[in-house]
Amino acid sequence: MKKHAFERFNLHPTFVEVIEKKGFYEPTDIQSKVIPLVLKKESIVGQSQTGTGKSHAYLLPVLSSINVENHEVQAVITAPTRELALQLFEHFKELVAPLPESEKITGKCLIGGTDKQRTIEKLDKQPQVIIGTPGRILDLVKEQALDIHKTNMLVVDEADIMLDMGFIHDVDQLAGRMPEKLQILVFSATIPEKLKPFLKKYMENPKYVHIDPKTTTPKKIEHILIPLKSRTKAHLTYNILTSINPYLALVFANTKEKVDEYADALISKGLKVARFHGGLTPRERKRIMKQIRDLEYQYVIATDLAARGIDIEGVSHVINMEIPKDLDFYIHRTGRTGRADLAGIAITIYEPSDEHALNELEKRGITFQSRDLVKGEWQEIPDRNRRKKRERADDGVEQKVAHRVRKPGKVKPGYKKKMKYEIENLKKKERRKNARKK
């Protein structure tokens, strides 16, 4: 592996040292594409899934671009949740901590759920970098405690979640108070139509960086399918979790109601389960995140939107109790495991109604293994598509006879039955002919 690969970007050498101490020597795809563009002052729309090194793709060049002699707000980094903002601020502190005193970069994390008056008092000196939730940042701007009218860099992280949670209006208000020549870096897993007016309003000819999910799905993830059959999802999930004994399992359901329902069911069976969704109070979310990081929980059950706003290290298993309606979220979910070149396992419970979704995921390059859990033992089971594959592997009979039976010009009652009969007869003849040739 090539060492010191980050040096080619002309980043601050201290940041390169920090990254290398963390064991990262080669930039990810998105880092390779984004870092040079940010350093060239380009505005960017970056589309990439979770777990691709996106945070450092913008933090490294943004911090390298800070003028330490200018004691004004130079960069505002917005995130949709307090948890994500706090994590970004931890990354910020980790990068700037080793800087010599003469090169120190000042920063503040501004999020809701904290004492606003105390925050205002601490803003008597303006930080060079702001990381926080858009609502709280805008609130402090309106209070004239924070001055962003000379800010030249704005980062909008997880923009599609900003949109879903109704925060894009606050981001719009922030951007409107910044200089006309503003470098904007927007990162999003998806680019919904409703996000495009914001992009068009503030970004003139931005550079688009799209990292294809097919190329970013970690190669060391094992994707396992398990049929629900006549079992309940809570009972099957309980059996899965107790059989795999994970270091840390992240369990997904599609709604906060389902998260609560499944969490209650698992807790009633004796498992210590953390639940994480948008219905929790800020204090509850903060407490649960601390407990997860302190490894007090082996199992976390969450919704997609909540989990997209947090970054949990050490996830060994991802369990999909339900397949997400937006299949991009399957990639985001499973990308939570198998990170930093470690192995991971993604287990998906499926029903016959999920067949179309599974076929679509396979078209995206996901290779599933079919297994079942019987009396606590994992067993290989036949591929759910075995019949289709056998038909496809047929000796070309379907294709040979398809064009030989045509729909009649005038349709009479019972024509479908008659056509089907003719096709089956032709198939039999064709197969007998093939058998004689052999």
pTM of the model: 0.68
- Alpha carbon dihedral 245, 342, 51, 214, in 10-degree steps, equals -110
- Record the tokens describing residue 372, joined without a space: 């079942």
Q: Tell me 7's DSSP state.
A: G
* DSSP line for 162-186: HHHTT-HHHHHHHHHTS-SS-EEEE
Distance CA 108, CA 128 (A): 8
Closest CA to 297 of 241, 347, 340: 241
- Per the DSSP assignment, residues forming a β-bridge with 301 are 251, 275
pLDDT tens string, the chain, 438 residues long: the values are 444 688 888 899 999 999 888 777 788 889 999 999 999 999 999 988 766 788 999 999 999 999 999 999 999 999 988 888 988 999 999 999 999 999 999 999 999 877 888 889 889 899 999 999 999 999 999 999 999 999 999 999 989 888 877 899 999 999 999 999 999 999 988 788 888 898 989 888 899 998 876 544 445 789 999 999 999 999 999 999 999 988 899 999 999 899 999 999 999 999 999 998 878 877 888 788 888 888 899 999 998 866 665 667 788 899 999 999 888 788 878 877 876 556 789 999 999 999 999 999 998 888 999 999 998 899 999 888 765 555 444 555 555 655 565 556 565 666 666 767 777 777 777 777 766 665
On whether the CB atoms of residues 327 and 360 are closer than 8 A, the answer is yes
- Record the tokens describing residue 7, joined without a space: 């040096």
